[in-house]
Amino acid sequence: MHIVVTVKQVMDPIIPPSHMAVDASRKQVVSASGAPAVMNGYDANGLEEALRLKQVHGGKVTAITLGNESARNTLKRAVAMGADTAALLCDPQWQTLDSFGIATVLAAGIRKIGKVDLVLCGRQASDSDGGQVLYWLAQLLDLPVVSPIIKIEESGADALVVHQLMDEECQRLRVELPALLGISSEINEPRLPSPKGAVIATRTMIPVWNASTLNVGQVAGKVTIKALDIQVRTGQAEIIEGADGAARGRALADKLHQLGLL
């Protein structure tokens, strides 16, 4: 089974808005914290699930990312976790792509890889929170798509049984392969890279595929970012006072009662 996992390098989601800034164009968020970028959490769940499927079925796991040269770090981490190969999709003209544009480039990358049985993507990225690249990708590759997945219950050579998370229930579905799944965090706990994996990662060559390698030029987007604004919380709660915890608990009940909330 050949599984491709799409991974994205993102700003560490623990960085609070007070440590973020927007650039002069108001179109890009920059971190003022100096904290290193990380692999998108849901993508790490996708990679973990791919590695588990490989343990059962054998085969190969390929990690791909669309990003600038620094995104190589995230691919190194993917290899250190256990991915067999990786490719960096990088070209200056791809810097401001929307979801459709990103999917167009990823689709070209996946076609270049060749026969793929399963594509796993994180359900969304923790920076853009877009949640639609995987669906455009499925359309471009003509794959059945289900997201967000919280369990792969059975996996065979030609189909998977998966649990799709809905608002108040789960759908248990049988999806024919090849397919594309959006992976959610409930599915697993991603492994940490092993020391041996880290050594392998330093020795693994990661190719760069650009617009001419993939024969993809400028893509006209469907959505354009006009402006970004940081939402900094400056408020401070009104503190309910009292001699001890119990007194504060009673004072809170009184307050909420006065407000008509109880």
Partner 1 sequence: MTGILVIGEMAGNAVTKQTLETVAAALQLSVELKQPVSGALFGAGDLAGAAAQFNCGFSTLLLVESERLEQYSAQQSVTAALAVIAKLQPSVLLLPHSARTRDWAPQLAAKLGSGLVLDCVNVVVGEDGLAAVKPMYGGGVWGQHVVHGEPAIITVRAGVFDCAKPDAGASIERLEVPNLAPNPRIEHLETIVNEGTDGQQLKDAKTIISGGRGTGGQENWHLIEEAAAATGGAIGCSRAIVDMGWLRWNHQVGLSGTIVAPELYIAVGISGAVQHLAGISNAKTVVAINNDPDAEIFKRADYGVIGDFKEVLPAFIEHVKGYAK
Site for partner 1 in 163-222 (CB under 8 A): 163-176, 179, 184-186, 221-222
- Indicate whether 255 belongs to the interface with partner 1 (CB under 8 A): yes
Q: Which region among 50-58, 143-151, 191-199, 208-216 touches partner 1 (by CB under 8 A)?
A: 143-151
Q: Which region among 17-25, 83-91, 106-114, 202-210 touches partner 1 (by CB under 8 A)?
A: 17-25
d(CA 155, CA 52): 11
Q: Side-chain half-sphere of 82: how many Cα atoms within 13 Å? A: 20
Measured from the CB atom, is 69 or 168 closer to partner 1? 168
- Indicate whether 33 belongs to the interface with partner 1 (CB under 8 A): no
Near partner 1 in 71-90, by CB under 8 A: none
First to last CA, the chain: 57
d(CA 106, CA 140): 10
Please give the C-alpha separations between residue 21 and each of 25, 32, 149, 152, in angstroms, as whole numbers. Answer: 11, 7, 33, 39
Measured from the CB atom, is 19 or 72 closer to partner 1? 19
- Indicate whether 69 belongs to the interface with partner 1 (CB under 8 A): no
- Indicate whether 258 belongs to the interface with partner 1 (CB under 8 A): no
> Please, which residues have CB within 8 angstroms of residue 98's CB and are 6 or more apart in sequence?
221, 222, 223, 224, 225
Among 81, 87, 145, 149, interactor with partner 1 by CB under 8 A: 145
